[in-house]
Amino acid sequence: MSSQSAPSGPQHDAVEVILAKRDKGTLTTSQIDWMVDAYTRGAVADEQMSSLLMAILLNGMDRREIADWTGAMIASGERMDFSSLSRPTADKHSTGGVGDKITLPLAPLVAACGVAVPQLSGRGLGHTGGTLDKLESIPGWRAALSNEEMLAQLESVGAVICAAGDGLAPADKKLYALRDVTGTVEAIPLIASSIMSKKIAEGTGALVLDVKVGSGAFMKDVDRARELAEVMVALGTDAGVRTVALLTDMSVPLGLTAGNAIEVAESVEVLAGGGPADVVELTLALAREMLAGAGRDDVDPADRLADGSAMDAWRRMISAQGGDPDAPLPVAREQHVVNAPADGVLARLDALSVGLAAWRLGAGRERKEDPVQAGAGVVWHARPGDEVRAGEPLFTLHTDTPERFERALAALEGGYEVAGAGSAYTPGQLIIDRVG
């Protein structure tokens, strides 16, 4: 990467930029443009960029600096253009959670309502699942599409879920890897610019952000989550993308499954008009926001779930990417059942505990290059507020490698609570707030 020639324009010095932010100064547009470009080309060393990232984490950035940083990352690569499509576009981004399979039913549902969904997704890391890992459990399905294939599928099917190409915000890919190993992942300016640089470069007309809050989310605190949402909505709006954010609860995992193939099966249930109530509620809420952003709020997505057209769009979307929507999904070779310890009410189910258990069973990865097991994961047979009976299944753990059960069970220990029969349970709100 370092073989490219330096761009024309003002030249800066990395140490000068680092010192400015270290001393709580405001970086100029020129400094930001130069630093991001020089780092992407290899002209600024990892240790110098690490130092600047830490200064940003500690001292923050104002709205103009964040917008400039985002713009510099967009400028490092290509921009996609969907203006040739016969329908408007809308996309959704989730900050990640446990059992968060919403993209799978959401994309075909919105497509069935007449809006194209160009969904560039990622893989799971740690306890949060990855959309591409889930879809790759479908026999034959492929994540890698060229820009031409993506555009053709958006026109013919209306929805595509695929991996982002290397040409989209390459600065972000390099910066993200560095943040991961330097303790600077949590800086809100860096999180916001990382997400929004890719979404703006993607070229969607409307964007809905699902900012998760709670134990199973990256953001544990509502105020920090709201701050992140406000920064991202401002970035999108300033770039001409109609952007809104929903703050949604991730203290409890979504639905009844966390894994890859088992989440696909649950998503298909939703598309068939069934599925867990919370998954349906959030899918419809996000669909309505996407349709409103694209100017199609005259369509009720609930009707498209009921009449089967969302399922038809799903089958076309999977088939277009080489998948067989009728093929049996992979099933893990081994299962372990955890029974309810007593009669009563499931009073608590901690999202992080469930996510860690699914990860330890093989559904997730520790490093980007690690493989995942398609059939691994956790099924829970009750949600908070449901009555349970002693000795009946509460969880079923799935894996191909039974030596993983012990550590998965350790993750679940203390992650749930059964209260006495007749105990009152007050459910929390799934959708906490709306920013936009």
List the catalytic residues: 93, 172, 179, 194, 198
Dist. CA 175–CA 97, nearest whole Å: 22
Helical H runs in 122-220?
A: 131-135, 147-156, 170-180, 188-202
Helical H runs in 42-169?
A: 46-59, 63-75, 103-112, 131-135, 147-156
Amino acid letter, 180:
D
Residue 326: count of CB within 10 angstroms of its CB: 9
Residue 213: count of CB within 10 angstroms of its CB: 26
Amino acid letter, 26:
T
Structure tokens at 130: 């990855």
Q: Is the dihedral of CA 355, 356, 358, 363 positive or negative?
A: positive
Residues 6+ apart with CB under 8 A from 13: none
Dist. CA 57–CA 186, nearest whole Å: 7
Dist. CA 375–CA 430, nearest whole Å: 28
Q: Which segments of 186-319 are extended strands (E)?
A: 206-213, 242-249, 257-259
